[in-house]
A and B are shown apart, each in its own frame.
Chain A
Amino acid sequence: MRFLAYPIKNLRRRPGRTLFAAIGISLAIATFVSMTVLFGGITDQWKTNLDADGLHLVILQDKQIDWLASSLPESVAAEIADLPSVRSADGELLSFLTTENGIAILVSGWPSDSARWSGLELVAGARPPADANDMGLMGETAASALGLGIGDTLALDGLDVEIAGIFKARDVLTGGRLFLPLTGLQKQMFRDGTVTLVNVMLERPESSEGVYEVESFVATNYPSLSVRQTAQLSQDNRVIDFLKVLRRTVVWIVSLIGVAGTANIMLMAVNERRSEIGLLVALGWSRIRIVSVFLAEGVALSSVSGLVGVGLGAVIIELVRRSATLAVFLSGTMSLAVALQALALAVGIGTVSSILPAIRAVNVPADTALRSV
């Protein structure tokens, strides 16, 4: 008999209890995997999205915590675009609109003449004509999730939008969005002449002169607005910060649940097996060997559960991907790195949760086996 056979056989002693402990750890690991992949997808893609748009500066209402609540005159875009160091400046109106099924979609209004339309790679259909206020381009993630095709109409808070084209999902953030001509969205939202923000592309983004020129212009003429660099935005974004904190908190909570559950099982095992531990002490087993038994039991239980949890997490990610409601916001791909992190977490849970029971085990008096019946 190999040494490891003993702790593994011990796990089969109470199969029901071991099974429930394994389910608990598996769920904890599955939560870790799905949160890491799905939330990580959002935070990673946020910066990629801004970079891929080629945007350098964003002008918003100053001290506005909620971006979507920002409001500024559309004319600011034209004034900024006239500055020598600016290549282009477009106003953008952003809002969440809801489908009849209650699915919220991030809708953007872009000026019909904006160069950003050409940045969307179409997989079907065509760009809406300049004067078509009720036609739009939808990301393929949203189109797939909502089951929409070219020519279909989507009702959004009273606005009927015809899908003129479907563009390739560069990431989940753009893939779940709908782009409309700015004037059409302004009318629908009763925000004629205003936008949420102004996106700015500089002639020479590597130079600070362009940033300084735009900042000076805005500070002089629109003191209630602020200029933010996109690199800074991805770092300062409160939604992303919130998601990171939420993810970290959930990982801590599920880890603690895993540790508590496993430790409880292991402590019960130690209490039930006091005479057996006493026997091992009496037979001359070293303390480290007795500790190893319980550590091996905990690690074996959590490792197998971790593998199951990784599989379960992958299933959750796939289910989210197939969900019409969730796929618009959340997406991600399971990676080997996340799987290894999850397994490391599982082994960590097994190790930490077995330490206290193992210490209790080595403190069982040597004469216990002689005195227990």
Chain B
Amino acid sequence: MDAKAPILQASGLCKRFDERDRLVLDDVSLTITYGESVALMGPSGCGKTTLLSILAGLMLPDTGTLDYWFPGLPPTDRLTAAIRRHHVGIVFQSIHLIPTLTVLENIEIPMFGVEKSADRRAHRAREVVERLRLSASADMRPHQLSGGERQRVAIGRAFVNRPILVFADEPTGNLDTVSSEQVVQALLDMASQTNGSLLVVTHNPGVAACMDRILTIVDGRIVAKGAKAPAQVGTAS
């Protein structure tokens, strides 16, 4: 697999929300290559989450094109549920762990439909839990964990199927500095394990600085495509 080869290419994406009749994305184009980590920054309401939703196949753009290249699959212009299940991971700002399930069980959830054997699902989830240094909490339920631990579980859930493309929406949004550092470290560690590409939406310049490349979006347009700055993870600015 060529490290410079694109895994995702978006061209001329536009999105308007009917209820606000406001152009949220205006002619957005970007490319993400294999193994690359990209930060997407911008002020609140600038269209970051909308862009992430479209790129992750959770929402359709009004206009524009998308192309994906996944190993072993023909090029495709949309992420179906099956492709998302096998090749894509998503980390949510609101974490969304299932409250009735333990840490291990939450991490197993994306494996339904991917791995038939319950034993292998459990084994793989345990590997991820160990990797994230959450073994002591494996049988705890989400309400028994700290915010940082919960987000690390969510990262484990996103990476458990060894995805080649991972989207993270404000993964450190509600965390303190120490927890943010742990979460970013976990994110990068898991991404390096899978050699996957990473697109992180963040307000935090320190988090963005940990990525290979920073894209800045303002009023629905990408206005800057910069190289990374020295890493210093801090609380959201």
Chain A positions within 8 Å of B, measured between CB atoms, are 1-3, 5-6, 9-10, 12-13, 275-276, 278-287, 289, 365-367, 369-373
Contacts and interface: CB of A to CB of B under 8 A. Distances in A.
Contacts of B96: 275-276, 278-279, 369, 372
Interface in B57-84: 57-59, 81-84
A211 B157 CA distance: 82
Contact of B59 (A2, A3, A289, A367): A367
Contacts of A275: 94, 96
A283 B100 contact: no
22 contacts: A1-B118, A1-B121, A1-B122, A9-B100, A13-B100, A275-B94, A278-B96, A280-B109, A282-B84, A284-B86, A284-B88, A285-B81, A285-B85, A286-B82, A287-B81, A289-B113, A365-B58, A367-B58, A369-B90, A370-B52, A370-B93, A370-B169
B49 interface: yes
Contacts of B86: 284
B150 to A, nearest CB: 13
Contacts of B52: 370
A366 B57 contact: yes
Given A276-B98, A370-B92, A284 B85 contact: yes
Given A367-B53, A371-B49, A372-B94, A284 B81 contact: yes
B108 interface: yes
A228 B71 CA distance: 84
B110 interface: yes
Given A281-B58, A286-B81, A370-B169, 18 more contacts: A5-B105, A6-B101, A6-B105, A6-B109, A9-B101, A13-B99, A275-B94, A275-B96, A282-B58, A283-B90, A284-B83, A285-B112, A366-B53, A369-B92, A370-B52, A370-B92, A371-B53, A372-B94
Interface residues of B, number: 35
Nearest to B96: A279
A10 B92 contact: no
Q: What 5 pairs across the A-B complex have the smallest Cβ distances?
A: A284-B85, A284-B84, A366-B58, A367-B58, A9-B100
B59 A366 contact: yes
A279 B121 CA distance: 19
A54 B49 CA distance: 84
A211 to B, nearest CB: 70
Nearest to A11: B100
B87 to A, nearest CB: 9
